[in-house]
Amino acid sequence: MAYSAVSIATRFWICCWLIASCIGIAVGQPTETQPQRQVTIPINILDKTFRRVVGISEKDISVSIDKQTPAIWHLKDGGVPRHIVLLLDISDSMVPSSQDLCSRVATSFISLVPETCSLAMMTFSSRIIREVGFDKDRRLILDALSDRSINKRDRAPTRLFDAVQRAVEMIDPVEPGDSIFLFSDAEEARSKTTELRLRNILIQKQIRLFTFLIDYSWDYRKLAERLCVNSGGMPFAFDPAFRLSDVEKVTLLSRLTGFYGAILSFYQLEIELPRDLKKNAKISVKLDEELRQSKLSVIYSKMIPAN
């Protein structure tokens, strides 16, 4: 059977229309673009005494991503973490007095954590020594912290990076503000995970790292600071426990109680990311001039996680 040129063209057009309909594209209509990705970034704003600053609103801050202001962003208060892992170093480099102080600090911290937040705990050295999961009652964690055998040191090399990575793996799914609290001298040796890989894992998973450093060397302190700052957390460093008097230890616990209480509640910065955002984008959050003069600390992750 012969077909005219018009007939062939018509049939070709109908076939194209049917194929386009099957894959969800209407002929003559623009293709549907992918929706913008939204991220929620926890932000703590503290004063010079590490107390939480309340009453901050959107008009008090400016936000930029790679020096460009995002089209849509919102700031709201009242964020709390849903998962926290307590990570205690019991390696040979941690003397018993330091381990005892870390146990006391962790116990004090637990009393501040609301019941809506699930807790887990691990002790480690060259390996994970003891683990109490999120599905366990927090009284088991308190019992473990009061158990003197927790201070039995492991003389094998400390694999700090591997322990933090294992703590990250425990948090699934991750919600904004989920954190790891590390009690350690930050000594690291022979981990399979590198510092760079661990940093990227913390950023990608959006898990914050806070450290209580004691008996540390300068190099290990700088290492802990890098990990904390990149993840949106914060390091605290103190003199060795054997140098602290009983009165100083009580003062230290009081200071930390105030600090921990301040970071357990945070602002939430919700941003719709640009579609053309590059992989290693950096975010900047700045207070207005009047608040900057108050010398407030703004704690948040400086890196946007990749898709």
* pLDDT for 6 beyond 60: no
Q: What is the mean pLDDT of residues 228-253?
A: 80
Q: How far apart are CA 306 and CA 285, in angstroms?
A: 19
236 in Cβ contact with 204 (< 8 Å): no
What pLDDT, on a 0 to 100 scale, did the predictor assign at position 246?
77
What percentage of the chain exceeds 90 in pLDDT? 41
- The residues with which 128 forms a beta bridge, in sequence order, are 124
pLDDT at res. 134: 96
pLDDT of residue 56: 94
Distance between CA 296 and CA 289 in Å, rounded? 11
- Cβ atoms within 10 Å of 99's Cβ, excluding its own: 25
80-135 tens-digit pLDDT? 999 999 999 988 888 777 888 888 889 988 988 989 999 999 999 888 989 999 99
As a whole number, mean pLDDT of residues 207-227 equals 86
SS3 of 12, please? helix
175-192: average pLDDT: 91
In angstroms, the CA 303 to CA 206 distance is 9
Report the pLDDT value the prediction gives residue 24, as an integer from 0 to 100. Answer: 40
Of residues 248 and 117, more confidently modeled: 117
The 10 Å Cβ neighbour count of residue 153 is 15
Candidates 92, 258, 85; CA nearest to 174 is 85
pLDDT, residue 286, reads: 92
CA distances from 306 to 34, 279, 283 (A): 16, 6, 13
Structure confidence at residue 172 as a pLDDT band (50, 70, 90):
very high
The answer, yes or no, to whether residue 41 has pLDDT greater than 80, is: yes
**Position 14 pLDDT exceeds 80:** no
Q: Indicate the SS3 state at residue 206.
A: coil
- Look at residue 292 and give its three-state secondary structure: helix
pLDDT classification of 147: cutoffs 50, 70, 90? confident
- CA 235/CA 247 separation, integer angstroms: 23
Euclidean distance between CA atoms 61 and 289, whole angstroms:
9
Q: What's the mean pLDDT in 141-145?
A: 90
Q: What is the pLDDT of residues 59-85, one digit of tens each?
A: 999 999 888 888 778 999 999 999 999
